[in-house]
Amino acid sequence: MNKFPISPIFIPGNKLEWIAKTFEKGADSIILDLEDSVPESEKLEARENLSNHLNDNHYENLIVRVNPVSEKTGQEDIESLAKYHKSISAFMLPKIETSSLIANLPSINVIALLETPISIKNISDIAAEEKVVGLALGGADLSASLGSTMDWDALLYSRSKIVQEAAINNLFTIDSPFMEISELLALEEESTRSKNLGFNGKAAIHPSQIEIIKNSFLPSLDELDEAKEIIKAFNESSSAVIAFKGRMIDLPIVLSMEKRLRLVGIDPKNID
């Protein structure tokens, strides 16, 4: 994935007609949910309908949340849909707790949805798995398991672990959705906190949240120019550490600048 999802929005996996409409409303990425939003009795039909839909339609930034791959339904989701890798940017794996479950999958892009205490405990192994391109926080299920609220402070440890492991493995990160749809000012405040902590984006559950999340995470033109200049200067030097406008620049800084560019779809390996 060259472009990181900033405000990916969840839509039900049995509402395929919503995909085009949601992109038209400004979504930079869609998470089509085959798990929680589809009743058990409709899961097979939803998967088959999606497969047929992707035979006739192509998308640039579609993420599919499958059912847990620890169960037969999730494994069959992957088996059926992996061939549509040109339209499915990544598969979001819910309740993923061990890297071995990912290692046994076909060659696909994986976003690990971390939503249990065990997943946070095993995050280092999960993040290091080669198929993993991103980490996402599932705050609702995690807080239920912990017996905590979904408040910022209650999940700060888990958020920090996700950002840390993503930085180590050069992955992108998606923060948990903000559930209070009408509280847009509170959404803006939490989005700003997420960005400041190191997250690259935040999932949305309603179209009204998309622009607020985008505006909170997108870098300014000055920040994009700075990233390009730092990357160019570092690449033109033979040193492992350089001085740039009074700042010390080493590889971790360069990697963060590359992530900044990917937020807006700029390939850091191909800049002017």
Average pLDDT over residues 183-189: 97
Tokens standing for 110?
């994986």
Taken in order 179, 180, 185, 190, is the CA torsion positive or negative? Answer: negative
pLDDT for residue 2: 57
Q: Are 263 and 217 in contact (CB under 8 A)?
A: yes
Tokens standing for 257?
């600048």
Q: pLDDT tens digits, residue range 128-160?
A: 999 999 999 999 999 999 999 999 999 999 999
Q: How far apart are CA 34 and CA 18, in angstroms?
A: 14
pLDDT for residue 40: 95
Q: pLDDT tens digits, residue range 58-79?
A: 998 999 999 999 999 999 999 9
Considering only 32-36, 222-226, 229-233, 255-259, which range has the smallest mean pLDDT? 255-259
Q: pLDDT tens digits, residue range 84-100?
A: 988 999 999 999 999 99
pTM of the model: 0.87
* DSSP category for residue 177: P
- Top-confidence residue, 267 or 127: 127
52 contacts: CB under 8 Å, gap ≥ 6: none
